[in-house]
Chain A
Amino acid sequence: MATVTLADDLKPLHHPKTFIGKYVWSQDHKVIAIQYSLTAIGIGVVALVLSALMRLQLGFPDTFHFIQPENYLQYVTMHGMIMVVYLLTALLLGGFGNYLIPLMVGARDMVFPFVNMLSYWVYLLAVLVLVAGFFVPGGPSGAGWTLYPPQAILEGTPGHHWGIITMLVSLALFIVGFTMGGLNYVVTVLQARAKGMTLMRMPCSVWGIFVASIMALLAFPALFVASVMMLLDRVAGTSFFMPAIVSMGQQLGYQGGSPILFQHLFWFFGHPEVYIVALPAFGIVSDLIAVHARKNIFGYRMMVWAIVIIGALSFFVWAHHMYVSGMNPYFGFFFATSTLIIAIPTAIKVYNWLLTLYRGDIHLRVPMLFAIAFLFTFIHGGLTGLFLGNVSVDVPLSDTFFVVGHFHMVMGVSPILVIFGAIYHWYPKITGRMWNETLGKIHFWITFLGVYAVYLPMHYLGVLGVPRRYYALGETAFIPPSAHIANEVITVAALIVFAAQMLFFYNMIVSLFQGPKADPNPWGATTLEWQTPDTPPRHGNWGPKLPVVYRWAYDYSVPGAPRDFIPQNEPPSDGVRHHPT
């Protein structure tokens, strides 16, 4: 198979000299990764606080007078949008993508370092515009994170005046910023791999991030045009999504637009978005499991193909979010079938993770605990997705707490558990320090058990029929008092999980200064990022010579080898079995 070396490796790298050049206007992918990650986590904390406020209202209605219906809906909207786009997408692609791709494929940096830097600064601008929504008259939008028109831009919805504008502008900026980053990730994987690093030798993490980046480049434009069109409806009086309407007794000037068109555009982005978040998490968790079980990922080729197939199929399932939207009901047959088919490659991934553990040598360190917790929550969330994908079963469940429980398990909790695992896993490489094991374990146990206590009961409330996005349930005959008790318990569990995250931040910050010096390869991993000459890696990553790759990423416990792992850049030796890649 053809291999590609870095064409410009003979050119000397220009190392920045000033503090600003090194840490602010930096073009080093590792610094950009950390900038992306800290910004994403920072705005993620805002979304976390909003979720705590929502839970307070749901668990104890009529208690917190500063939470009015409009505030509640604003919390719902901002929480959802921040978590999905500004935290998960930015952290997994902008953060982990930036950090891991060049190091894992053996490149000195991204292929377009300047564009990469620009990507972060545009992302930061998008975040600032989003946050500005909290301070404009009327506050941020309260249209729900799906921003469905007509209500998103009409009276009766909080933030319909200014909040929706800051939201749409921020989304458009985010997409501009992401496009610069995404092109970089894709081109770097295709063009800047070290000698010997064939595509089928890449670690699953890179595969996940690579395919997710391609998907994002294809899916985000749908959201971009939808945002621009709604912005025009809002400020220029066009009628893309606005039919003739009588709002609060007033005839509006709109005519002939289609609200469902927006939903198609939104979900044509929105469903691939689920996998844009999930695929990097799938890839990363594959590597965490392989490293800490000291075993090659089971069925590597199948795993890679599953990622590619899931990525492709995810563009053909979007309308399963719209079974009861009023679209042509006959679409339901097609989208239910395509949705359930996508469960097959997803199930294969789950089997292969389990079979990787099977007959392994499982070291239950903190990153591995998070990876295992991910398996549990992802199995749960994946299976409940089959209920919602199965068209007629979705009818009673849609817009109930079942949906809330499902998507939080599958694309909230699951990727975030992977992110925690990944941060614990790569922290020693990124910072050169080790975190505190005890604090890490306490953080893990409270988080894992706590989130299950939060989300399991929600599914049952949903089957009962409790609707989502309700400020208060009020007097409702079919909802028994026990359901209100469930809401209180969920809130208490959520607050405990919330508090446990402070342990994580404390651990990460204190270890940065007081943690013991980390071994360059503390887990005995084969992949290239652990073989750098310096820890943390310096600008340019590899010192004078680029690494050469001789084997796939999963030579763990190879019979005949002296150690239970063989780094990818270790030349072949006699008496050791070689993987055909």
Chain B
Amino acid sequence: MAIAVAIALLVLVSIAFHWLSPWWHTPIASNWGSIDSALDVTLWICAAAFIALNLFLAWTLLRYRHRAGHRAHYEPENTTLEKRLTFWTGVGIAGMLAPGLLAWNQYVTVPKDAAIVEAIGQQWQWGFRFPGTDGVLGTTNISHVTPENSFGVNPSDPYGQDDILVESPELHLPVGKPVKLILRSKDVLHDFYVPNFRAKMDLVPGIVTYIWLTPTRTGTFEIMCAELCGVGHHMMRGTVVVSTERDFRSWLAEQQTYAQLAAASAPAPIQLSQAEIAAQQPTGDR
């Protein structure tokens, strides 16, 4: 008896909690409204199932609880009913899956005009690299990483000379422009996560991963690491500043290129032989 009431009450409490709790989507700041919509569709279908199944459970417990002289009905199976239930479950599943897969198709299809920016993770800080005037990121390799060349840019790659290196964990992006974020890690797994952008992807040492998004409003948003990366995981923070194209340009102009930084720190750049260059596997994105 009490359990029937408790199940029904828990359903009501869950509904009330959903409406009254102050916690739902963090205000979105990117084009990924389709992800939020897919989540909402999933929520409505699942909520309907949750409410219907549990209220049926509560009613059954109340109606068929043991009383003196009561005996259970004997019915081993009912194939028609089982087939109908299977069919309608399939319909519900398809209804959720369709918007989910459509949004995923957008997620993995990067627009051709997306600007390229690289985010680099290491324990426990973020760094960023822009491709510079030639629009191409220079190749990188872990073996090039030194205190002076923390991004591991290949010193003999001409494409890398004009790359703009941002060693502080503050990334600026122009509003309304699609951007492809190339993700690279120097040590362990990290995950580039801006709650307001929805998009998220692991940084994996040894390979290059990516996500794309279009910032839709200006503002300052937090970057967090969403893949456990050691004792400093919770402190691996950064910020992304979404600004107008003009503000973005003037910020970018203040940053230093690889060539400028290399000239300032190492008067005589290391010369690699051709064989050494050939032996290195380029990991940058061309």
Contact = CB atoms under 8 A, between A and B. Distances in A.
B254 interface: no
11 contacts: A69-B233, A154-B187, A247-B188, A260-B204, A294-B72, A336-B104, A361-B72, A391-B100, A395-B198, A397-B39, A471-B231
B188 A477 contact: no
Interface residues of A, number: 116
Contact of A364 (B66, B76, B145): B66
B72 to A, nearest CB: 4
Given A158-B231, A344-B93, A399-B227, 7 more contacts: A150-B189, A357-B57, A363-B66, A364-B61, A383-B46, A393-B42, A482-B22
Contacts of B186: 245-246
A354 B64 CA distance: 12
Contacts of B1: 364
Contacts of B104: 332-333, 336, 391-392
Given A156-B188, A246-B145, A557-B74, A392 B3 contact: no
B90 to A, nearest CB: 6
A399 B222 contact: no
A557 B50 CA distance: 30
B23 A483 contact: yes
Contact of A298 (B21, B77, B101, B108): B77
B111 to A, nearest CB: 15
Contacts of B61: 357, 362, 364, 372
Contact of B205 (A243, A294, A564): A243
Contacts of A333: 101, 104-105
B25 A557 contact: no
Interface string A353-392: 0110111111110000100110110011001101100111
Interface string A387-415: 10011110111111000000000000000
A443 B10 CA distance: 18
B23 A396 contact: no
A89 interface: no
Interface of A: 69-70, 73, 142-144, 148, 150-151, 154, 156-158, 243-249, 251, 256-260, 293-296, 298-302, 324-326, 329-330, 332-333, 336-337, 340-341, 343-344, 347-348, 350-352, 354-355, 357-364, 369, 372-373, 375-376, 379-380, 383-384, 386-387, 390-393, 395-400, 448-449, 452, 456-457, 460-461, 463-465, 467, 469-474, 476-478, 480, 482-483, 486, 554, 556-559, 564, 577, 579
B217 to A, nearest CB: 14
A379 B107 CA distance: 30
Interface of B: 1, 3, 6-7, 10, 14, 17-18, 21-26, 32, 34-36, 38-39, 42-43, 45-46, 49-50, 53-54, 56-57, 60-61, 64-66, 70-78, 81-82, 85-86, 89-90, 93, 96-97, 100-101, 103-105, 107-108, 122-124, 141-143, 145, 147, 152, 183, 186-189, 191, 193, 195-196, 198-207, 209, 221-222, 224-235
A301 B233 contact: no
A452 B12 CA distance: 13
Contact of B23 (A300, A461, A476, A577): A461
A379 B42 contact: no
Contact of A398 (B81, B226, B231): B226
B231 A156 contact: yes
A556 B122 CA distance: 63
A315 B262 CA distance: 51
A399 B226 contact: yes
Contacts of A69: 231-234
Contacts of B32: 395-396
8 closest residue pairs by CB, A with B = A243-B206, A465-B195, A156-B230, A392-B103, A151-B188, A390-B100, A359-B73, A557-B72
Contacts of B201: 324, 326
A392 B187 contact: no
A557 B71 contact: yes
B64 A358 contact: yes
A459 to B, nearest CB: 9
Contacts of A383: 46, 49-50
B228 A392 contact: no
A350 B54 CA distance: 11
Contacts of B228: 73, 143-144, 148, 151, 469
A81 to B, nearest CB: 14
A398 to B, nearest CB: 7
B3 to A, nearest CB: 6
Given A329-B108, A351-B85, A376-B7, A464 B24 contact: yes
A343 B76 contact: no
Contact of B96 (A248, A390, A473): A390
B231 A70 contact: yes
Nearest to B45: A386
B12 to A, nearest CB: 13
A174 to B, nearest CB: 23
Contact of B200 (A248, A324, A393, A476): A324
Contact of A299 (B17, B73, B77, B232): B77
B234 A348 contact: no
Contacts of B39: 387, 393, 396-397, 463
A93 B275 CA distance: 58
A457 B21 contact: yes
